[in-house]
Amino acid sequence: GFVVKGRSGNYTTTKDVLICTAWKKISQDESLGSDQTVNTYWQRIKEYFDERNTSGHFRSSDSLRQCWST
């Protein structure tokens, strides 16, 4: 993938798409409910991301959260 300039940690377009997909999947999953904490929410996003990430470079939930907020 291409490196998105101006982003920390050399996130690629592929990783950005995966983060967006993870966020959408977790945020729209009614079975998870709205009572989860922010940390639990981002941990679930990380788990989804890790299961589908083929780059071999893994990120912490805080790193994914920071990338998303950018």
**CA angle 6–26–32, rounded 5-degree value:** 150
For residues 32 and 10, the answer to whether their CB atoms sit within 8 Å is: no
Beta-ladder partners of 3:
12
Q: How many domains does the chain have?
A: 1
Q: How far apart are CA 45 and CA 69, in angstroms?
A: 14
Its domain, for residue 47, covers 8-69
Q: With a threshold of 0.85, does the pTM exceed it? A: no
Is residue 28 domain-resident? Answer: yes
**pLDDT 10s digit of each residue in the chain, 70 long?**
434 444 445 557 888 888 888 888 888 877 766 667 888 888 988 999 899 988 877 788 888 888 777 6
Is residue 65 domain-resident? Answer: yes
Is residue 19 domain-resident? Answer: yes
Is residue 54 domain-resident? Answer: yes
Is residue 3 domain-resident? Answer: no
Is residue 2 domain-resident? Answer: no
For residues 13 and 4, the answer to whether their CB atoms sit within 8 Å is: yes
Is residue 57 domain-resident? Answer: yes
In 1-70 the beta strands, taken as DSSP E runs, fall at: none
